[in-house]
Amino acid sequence: MGTTEQDVWDDEESLARSFEANRPRLLRLAYTMTGSLAEAEDCVQEAWLRLRGLADPGGVRNLDAWLTTTVSRLALDALTSARARREQYVGTWLPEPLVEARSHDPADRITLDESVSMALLVVLERLTPAERTALVLHDVFGVPFLEIAEVVGRSPAAVRRLASRARRQVEGGRPRTPATEAEQRKLVEAFTAACQTGDLPGLVALLDPDVVLRGDGGGKVATLQHVERSAARVAPMMLARARAVPPLDILPITVNGAPGLVIRDADGGLSVMAFTVDTGRITAIDLVRNPDKLARLPDLR
């Protein structure tokens, strides 16, 4: 339930409770905008500090709206700065994966749905920061264009055009017929079995002919130097990698709300593998190996 005009925060404890009730939504917002959980957490923490720093927090009549605007501005600033850094990034940049342990505290997790899927986050990287902000705030969080205009510093009409242009780009890159969780889990299990048994024909049958394989090591660990395409190239690469990984160290897990894998290499290094499924086949595999992006993995035991 949203905050009403009658809500008053008489002390920091009640203010903190109101803020914490908003935290999962704010984290999801900032993460969807930036693709980085670390940056999302920083944005939300900064919003809390700014709220506490107000001379009269009780004067905020609509806390939900104030927090949404504040976090959105912080996330836009973070995304704009990150874009410049990503131009110098070694190899392919992928979003920081959200990995869910088998047992978790629901209060600590971002609400996982299509808005934080790896497929969508990868497509969002094609957009400018302003386009991404307009699309995420309007289409995912239902923020009116008038309020988004205050965040991006443009007119409501300009923001509407930004969102429309962004929507066209995103729609072209999203799955036409996404898999259900059960369907994707079955595909991931079959993928794992084919890799472990060296079944090349079986693996090729699971992959879309134009499947895309992306790897992100950030220049810190070995991974793909560029994006690989086609089942004919990707399948043998997956089998070669599987031969180097002990079978017991391939763990099924939830990645950005969908079935995926966490892989522990012989040297103890970790990799997170996310899958995009469309029309019954795997259309994209995203392999995140950059240790900086795996620092927040939950206990996988």
- List, for residues 63-96, the tens digit of each pLDDT value: 899 999 999 999 999 999 998 888 888 889 999 9
Which residue reads 């900032």 in tokens? Answer: 30
The pLDDT value recorded for residue 265 is 81
Euclidean distance between CA atoms 287 and 78, whole angstroms: 24
Residue 151 structure tokens: 């965040």
Residues 6+ apart with CB under 8 A from 25: 111
Q: What is the 3-state secondary structure (H, E, C) of 167-232?
A: HHHHHCCCCCCECCHHHHHHHHHHHHHHHHHCCHHHHHHHEEEEEEEEEECCCCCCCCCCCEECHH
Nearest-CA neighbor of 260 among 111, 125, 119?
Answer: 119
Nearest-CA neighbor of 151 among 74, 52, 84?
Answer: 74
- Chain centroid to Cα 131, Å, comes to 17
Kindly report each contact of residues 199-202 with a partner whose C-beta sits within 8 Å and lies 24 or more positions away, as own/partner: 200/235, 200/236, 200/239
> Percent of the chain having pLDDT more than 90?
64
Euclidean distance between CA atoms 233 and 210, whole angstroms: 10
Could you tell me if 115 and 32 are in contact, meaning their C-beta atoms sit under 8 angstroms apart? Answer: yes
- List, for residues 3-62, the tens digit of each pLDDT value: 444 444 556 788 889 999 999 999 999 999 999 999 999 999 999 999 988 887 777 888
Residue 272 structure tokens: 């997170």
Q: What is the pTM of this model?
A: 0.88
Q: Which domains does the chain have, with CATH numbers?
A: 5-172 (1.20.140.160), 181-293 (3.10.450.50)
- List, for residues 97-141, the tens digit of each pLDDT value: 999 865 444 444 455 456 689 999 999 999 999 999 999 999 999
Mean predicted lDDT score pLDDT of the chain: 88
DSSP string, 239-295: HHHHHTS-GGGEEEEEETTEEEEEEE-TTS-EEEEEEEEETTEEEEEEEE--GGGGT
